[in-house]
Chains A and B, each alone.
Chain A
Amino acid sequence: MSTHTGLLRFITAGSVDDGKSTLIGRLLYDSKSILADQLSAIEKTSERRGLTQVDLSLLTDGLEAEREQGITIDVAYRYFATPKRKFIIGDAPGHEQYTRNMVTAASTADVGIILIDARRGVLPQTRRHSYLARLVGIPRVVLAINKMDLVDYSREVFETIRTDYLAFAENLGFTEILPIPMSALEGDNVVETGDRMPWYTGPTLVDYLDTVPALHDGSDHPFRFPVQRVTRVMLGNQAEAVIGLPTEGEFRGYQGGVAAGTVRIGDAVRVLPIGKTSTVKSILTADGPLTEAQADSAVVLELADEIDISRGDMLVAASAEPIVTQDLEATMCWLSEEELTPQRKYWIKHTSRTVRASFKELLYRVDVNTLEKISGVDTLRMNDIARVKLRLQQPIFVDSYSENRITGSFIVIDDATNNTVGAGVIAPE
């Protein structure tokens, strides 16, 4: 069981107007992740545009097409480190038509930062971003009440927005919501506290990110191991010495990542879908054998018994099995410009298993601005969030998404174009 992860992934959700790019620029700048040539490039651009101050938002400008239009068209990833952690920022654009990008970036995030312009307060997009963050299972959010410099660092403004937001977010079920008053432009409460808001005594954004638990930290969910690949080798003719293996005979092991829980030698595991039980004989890595492996580790497992196992099968704790089912009810985001044809069959990829699926029923669509359920849905269009029922050609092994992101999620693939057209989470309404 992991107690602390040295890598944290978070997303920033908000529009250009909320100062999102400036916030990211500020994080990179104050953590000294910007280097001299990058800084001089944005200095030159700022000067050319007639700005008196260096525009930190230019650091996150990506593609030619975006610079021409002054918008962000896709998810971008940024990196910085503090003495305590390395961070990966998923930068999701805030425009309404890019719900799919927000969902994409948020799917791997441990923490969400929801930006609010202190002058404008809680907006429909704030609600939308919060709903989507919760939908993809982000447990903790920072409510970054930004541009405090433009409201005279007013405590009242901060308190009003905080109260408004908490009233709305109460029902979403976040584990933690931390409102921080901030000026990304001036740097207050991003890395340093600054001295303009002495009434705020909580952590700065980076203080919080340094210590907040990552998704799997301290988690104690039952063991899940989707088999990625079966490896069979005749021992004794490897290119390199292999620690922990006998020197002759045939070795058969299962390569994969531990999707949840911890596995130890001697643990009883059930093999799905076949349903047979065995025990873990060894846990191997290229660096030598282990006695246990925790969530997120990439290992090779060997079982005590010979069982016919292939990619797409799953080894699970014998004491706590997932649900084995061919019928799914899930909340989906449609990602493709081409709308769903409910009469067609699609592929779904769930862990290492890809199966045929048909859409049995489109229950309702969710208006992401009002969170209203709209019935009478006959197709799904890009950026739609909807509740659906699927029938699968073969069973998959699922947990509720809130318990396990890996066994609780799937993507939909169009077999004609091979595009990823949808994403779903398996969770109660």
Chain B
Amino acid sequence: MKSLPIALLGALMLAACSHPATETPAAAKPAAAASAPTKNKAPPGFTPPAEADIPAGPLGDEIRLGRAIFTDTPTQAHDYVGNGLSCSNCHLDAGRLANSAPLWGAWGMYPQYRKKNGRVNSFGERLQGCFRFSMNGKAPPLDSDVIVALESYAWWMSKGAPNGVKLAGAGYPKQGFKPPQPTDYARGAAVYAKDCALCHGDDGQGQQVNGRNVFPPLWGPQSFNWGAGMHELDNAAAFIKANMPLSRGGTLSDQDAWDVAMYMDAHERPQDPRYAGDVAATRAKYHDTPMSLYGTTVNGHLLGSGAAK
């Protein structure tokens, strides 16, 4: 007559083990709880042609090569890239997206005088700067396949756009975009942990699959160097506000975007290739702006002094 006690014990066991099932069931939240991102007010000043409209033939091939370089730069322009980044990491939708520094917003603005180097730069020279600083690599020659293909892609994308006119959606939307309060590293760290680390990792080193970045490193030896535009707080904050987290652009508050931009740019990264012998001299010559943390001390560390190799 063991069956009754066994039945009871078995039932008790089951009651104990089904406990997790009934523990604080989460109420289903309506999908509509996802807040809609704030759209940038001004509609884009230009709509680029569809990729399917790239023509056939040798010119089309060059345009397609430019697109391939743009979206997989370490593979397609290997000799000129010193990190794992691709152009499309900061110029979303393969350089087509408004408020993400689209190619169609830049093409018609060159030649342009640039304070960065004190000269009038052609579009090709501007692209060389990307390789030297953002890709932490070296400038491809102006007549190289890499530059010509990228120029072809930018030219094709800008067909029909007005020449020499700053279009709505060009660059990052930093006009009038200021932090409500001065930026703060600790607040930035909290924003990072909540909204960025999921993809870019707790340590900011991104995530890689088969040796290729899926999510790019934001600082450290495999990120952009101290000469890149993204190390300046206004560029980073405007990019982040408009575009991050990916697909959720416009959801961070202005303050969060500025704080997390400051947090990102208060980490070490590869040295500015124009390094002038010491950090103070390099700051004085190239980074004498409140938008650059290079040569300033954050949390007791002089930024630029331990620049990742």
Are A and B co-members of a single complex?
A: no
Residue positions of A touching B, CB distance < 8 A: none
Give residues in B with beta carbon < 8 Å to A. Answer: none
